[in-house]
């Protein structure tokens, strides 16, 4: 079938109507897209900032829609189901990572913008094993960012194996940071949020976390060896040593975003009477996705969103280029 999308033909070009052919395979689901987020990462794909964009590109990797057709082998989905789709579209299901339930590390995986077309479109055809039913009480627009940002943050937190009521720090309070605070609070942890924006203090406190002014070195250093886990959502450079010192022995620093420039650390802070760990995380497995959606439905985890019609995509791109918007922009297709 012919799928109508919004594509970018070459590096730095503007998105324009783009059609591609794809058929519904035996394992696939055809989804009519109702919502897709657009974020700075989409612009970076359009500009080929990471060097792996495959042009022409259709970006958009946080997708919500309704199943319109299923392939012959599909038993877990039905036409009419409301579903969410994230960054990963396929895996081999045979390699050591797939067999261990870590499909996100599959060397044969297909992901949006690198290997296949994404959600800035009217439809998408995806392997049904990467099409996830949305719990009924999740709002379509507010749940859209869960499909990538939510999965990334939730998986990073669960991989820390925190004990009950752990002390946790969150660095950066944008979309990822706010989601992290919600997940951590609802898991029963005590959360401090580090931000250099005093304007975010009220929002942080409303979310149930303690505000720490990260520009005040004295306040930050007072928290020496206080934390079991610190999650950084910062995409700008920061002093990693400062935050390693805030971790207890055996504490963990999780990174879910990275600055473009290299970062230095004092390696001794990892082992001197400490055994501290640093790890990164991006997206998660199919099981992580299902767990995250169930947790979000049970605890009413919602993202801060601003909804715009799909037709206003150019306007959304201008907003992303010129402003630092705290809410995730969600493009909505009329059903
Ligand atoms: Zn595999």
- Per-residue confidence in pLDDT tens, the chain, 335 aa: 999 999 999 998 889 999 999 999 999 999 999 999 998 889 888 989 888 898 999 999 999 999 999 999 999 999 999 999 999 999 999 999 999 999 999 999 999 999 999 999 999 999 999 999 999 999 999 999 999 999 999 999 999 999 999 999 999 999 999 999 999 999 999 999 999 999 999 999 999 999 999 999 999 999 999 999 999 999 899 999 999 999 999 999 999 998 878 999 999 999 988 999 999 999 999 999 999 999 999 999 989 999 999 999 999 999 988 877 778 999 999 87
Q: In the chain, what are the domain boundaries?
A: 2-145+302-332, 151-280
Task: Give the per-residue pLDDT at 38.
Answer: 95
Angle made by CA atoms 67, 73, 76, in degrees to the nearest 5: 50
Structure tokens at 134: 């949305």
* 2-145+302-332 against 151-280: fold identical: no
Interval between CA 148 and ligand 1 midpoint (Å): 20
Separation of CA 159 and ligand 1 centre (Å): 21
CA–centroid distance, 77 to ligand 1, in Å, is 22
Q: Given this model, what pLDDT does residue 52 score?
A: 87
CA–centroid distance, 109 to ligand 1, in Å, is 7
**Of 166, 184, 164, 152, the residue nearest 247 (C-alpha):** 166
Ligand 1 centroid–CA 4 distance in Å is 30
Task: Round to whole Å and give the CA distance between 316 and 283.
Answer: 24
pLDDT of residue 325: 72
Which is the CATH superfamily of the domain at 2-145+302-332? Medium-chain alcohol dehydrogenases, catalytic domain (3.90.180.10)
**130 Cα–ligand 1 center, Å:** 13
Q: How many angstroms is it from 172 CA to the middle of ligand 1?
A: 33
CA dihedral (200, 206, 210, 215) in degrees, to 10, reads 0
The 8-class DSSP code of residue 101 comes to T
In angstroms, the CA 284 to CA 289 distance is 7
What local confidence, expressed as pLDDT, does residue 187 receive?
98
SS3 253: strand
177: preceding bond cis by omega (within 30 degrees) = no
Distance 330 CA to ligand 1 centre (A): 31
pLDDT value at position 289?
98
104 C-alpha to ligand 1 centroid (Å): 8
20 C-alpha to center of ligand 1: Å?
26
What's the CA angle centered on 237, arms 39 and 317, to 5 degrees? 20
φ/ψ region of 300 (left if φ > 0, alpha if ψ in -120 to 50, else beta) reads left
What's the CA-to-centroid distance between 135 and ligand 1, angstroms?
Answer: 27
Which three-class secondary structure state does DSSP give residue 78?
coil
**Contact, 29 vs 71, CB < 8 A?**
yes
Q: How many CB atoms lie within 10 A of CB 211?
A: 19
Other C-beta atoms within 10 Å of 128: how many? 21
* 93 Cα: distance to centroid of ligand 1 (angstroms): 5
Q: What's the CATH class of domain 151-280?
A: alpha beta
Report pLDDT for 176. 93
Report the separation in Å between the CA atom of 62 and the middle of ligand 1, taken as the mean of its atom positions.
Answer: 22
Q: Tell me, what's the pLDDT at 12?
A: 85
Residue 83: what pLDDT?
A: 98
CB 3 within 8 A of CB 123: yes
């Amino acid at each position: 079938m012919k799928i109508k999308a919004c594509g970018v033909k070459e590096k730095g070009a503007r998105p324009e109507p783009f059609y591609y052919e794809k058929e519904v395979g035996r394992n696939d689901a055809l989804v009519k897209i109702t919502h897709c987020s657009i974020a700075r990462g989409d612009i970076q794909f359009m500009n080929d900032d990471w060097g792996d964009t495959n042009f022409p590109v259709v970006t958009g990797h946080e997708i919500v829609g309704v199943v319109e057709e299923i392939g012959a082998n599909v038993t877990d989905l039905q036409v009419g189901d409301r579903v969410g789709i994230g960054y990963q579209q396929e895996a081999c299901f045979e390699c050591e990572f797939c067999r261990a339930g870590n499909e996100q590390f599959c060397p044969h995986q297909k992901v949006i913008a690198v290997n296949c077309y994404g959600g800035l479109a009217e439809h998408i055809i995806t392997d049904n094993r990467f099409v996830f039913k949305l719990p009924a009480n999740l709002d379509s627009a507010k749940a859209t960012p869960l499909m990538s940002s939510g999965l990334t943050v939730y998986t990073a937190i669960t991989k820390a194996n925190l004990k009950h009521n752990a002390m946790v720090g969150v660095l950066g309070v944008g979309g990822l940071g706010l989601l992290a605070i919600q997940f951590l609070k609802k898991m029963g942890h005590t959360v401090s949020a580090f931000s250099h924006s005093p304007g975010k203090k009220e929002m942080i406190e409303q979310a149930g976390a303690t505000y720490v002014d990260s520009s005040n070195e004295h306040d930050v250093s007072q928290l020496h060896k206080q934390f079991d886990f610190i999650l950084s959502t910062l995409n700008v450079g920061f002093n990693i040593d400062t935050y390693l010192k805030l971790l207890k022995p055996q504490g963990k620093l999780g990174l879910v975003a990275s600055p473009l420039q290299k970062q230095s650390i004092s390696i001794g802070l990892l082992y001197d009477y400490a055994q501290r760990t640093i790890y990164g995380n991006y997206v998660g497995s199919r099981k992580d996705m299902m767990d995250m959606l169930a947790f979000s439905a049970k605890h009413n985890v919602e993202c801060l969103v601003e909804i715009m019609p799909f037709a206003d995509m150019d306007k959304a791109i201008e907003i992303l280029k010129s402003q630092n918007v705290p809410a995730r922009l969600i493009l909505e297709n009329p059903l």
